[in-house]
Amino acid sequence: MTTSQSEVTNDRQALPALVVRGVRKTFEAELAPVRALRGVDLTVERGSFIALMGPSGCGKSTLLNLVAGLEEVDEGTISVAGESMSDGTEDTHALIRRKHIGIVFQFFNLLEGMSVLENVALPAIIAGKNRKSAESRARDLLDLLGIADKASEMPGVLSGGQRQRLAIARALANEPTLLLADEPTGALDSVGGQEVIELLSRLHTQGQTIILVTHDANVAKAADTVLRMRDGRILSDGDALTNDTLTTIGSL
């Protein structure tokens, strides 16, 4: 009996968006090695919205970089939609990233010499889509994110909140399984930050799986689940923050 392509696709879609098992990462430093991650386990089901909180240096951003294949794990395994991000070549990681992962950084990382529309269309063009379909998808995203009227503008004329909306649109260009957002409100004022929080919440209600790294309890409250990290580990489920706890922290 042969397995049809549709059956394989359905089986993959039933897999968790992310599975991390026993991941360790150490960076060599001048004085002593820095153990950034010390055996992290994490499963993210599709459609989840998870916030990772913790003090600076606890390993939050390192974990996101490993999930995205931007750095190599020392030990352990990472799979995104059933595909391994913890072994293989850089080219393999790039293909998985292109297919399954969208990344939103704190400082936008936009291409200043390209228009708003071109910034969003580029990832799809790189992935092999023709320009017409890539630009059609880009226009739909810009409309969804409320900046369709800025399509022909250059990024430099946008406000901070609009620039982060543009960065999110670009991250969604290839319809990623997993959206990674690393301190997406960190470079914004309170108004721009609130815009981005509301946007991420809206994307989540439409089914997007999101992992958000933040040190801000008010930002974390947008997520379904908030996990704390400390000393390179994710604390146990019993230590997960509740909405009541987050409200208390946010009022301090």
Domains of the chain with CATH codes: 16-250 (3.40.50.300)
Beta-strand ranges (E) seen in 157-197 are: 178-182
Q: Is the pTM of this model over 0.75?
A: yes
249 pLDDT above the threshold of 50: no
Among 10-14, 204-208, 220-224, the minimum mean pLDDT is found in: 10-14
Q: Give first-to-last CA distance, the chain, whole Å.
A: 62
HSE, side-chain direction, 13 A CA sphere, residue 233? 7
- Is the per-residue pLDDT at 42 higher than 70? yes
Confidence bin at 233 (pLDDT 50/70/90) = very high
pLDDT in tens, 61-97: 999 999 999 999 999 999 999 999 988 788 899 999 9
